[in-house]
Homo-oligomer: A and B are copies of this chain.
């Protein structure tokens, strides 16, 4: 089996993508970004018009044997017989379809970010340089009235992709966050930055003060320097280690 330490930021084969997807899922769970719900996906390096994602399981449960290959309408092309994808797999597919610069999609419900899904007039502006990776802001999406707010159809998923536009994350009212990145290590680092930034900005708002924000230029400069392979892999190595310490069944990966 390929070891996670042998894969850089971008997987080169389906096998590498599967290993990264399992470790990435466990990290997101171990760092408290997802819980029983929430999932990531990765573009298929061997066929970029398809993507890989686990069947419908909590991120902490996902193993190599649970990964499906799907097209951008969410149809399962490969995978264990009878395996059921996530309800919202199409949400991932439509973002891959709309954005050729995206290699990884995240959907989840981090509590620290949630207040900003219900206060559209107060977006989570960057108060940390790391939060500046979302330097061009967040999209905002509201689901059709009276629905259960999950995104199950191609049409709804296209609406989320349109709300995302050329940004790197979209907030969904009363629901959660969908984010995009170039690769899985970047997604981990950026989601933790989003959560930390939201937490600090919330603190500022609770104190009733207007912080000195990080400018879009500073955010873009931070994004550029910190999305290089070396800083990303330094952070990734740390999150892999923490996950392996906490979770027995991935220690040999």
Contact = CB atoms under 8 A, between A and B. Distances in A.
Interface of A: 35-37, 56-58, 60-61, 84, 109, 111, 114-115, 118-120, 122, 126-130, 132, 143, 145-150, 173-175, 189, 192, 196, 199-200, 202-209, 211-215, 217-218, 221-222, 224-226, 230, 234-235, 237-239, 241-242, 245, 247-248
A29 to B, nearest CB: 8
A198 to B, nearest CB: 10
Number of copies: 4
Given A114-B200, A118-B213, 15 more contacts: A35-B192, A36-B234, A58-B234, A60-B241, A61-B241, A111-B199, A115-B207, A118-B204, A127-B174, A129-B148, A146-B217, A148-B222, A149-B214, A174-B212, A245-B248
Contacts of A245: 247-248
B174 A213 contact: yes
8 contacts: A36-B189, A56-B234, A60-B241, A109-B130, A114-B127, A145-B217, A147-B218, A173-B212
A196 B238 contact: no
A35 B93 CA distance: 32
A173 B218 CA distance: 11
Contacts of A225: 148, 150
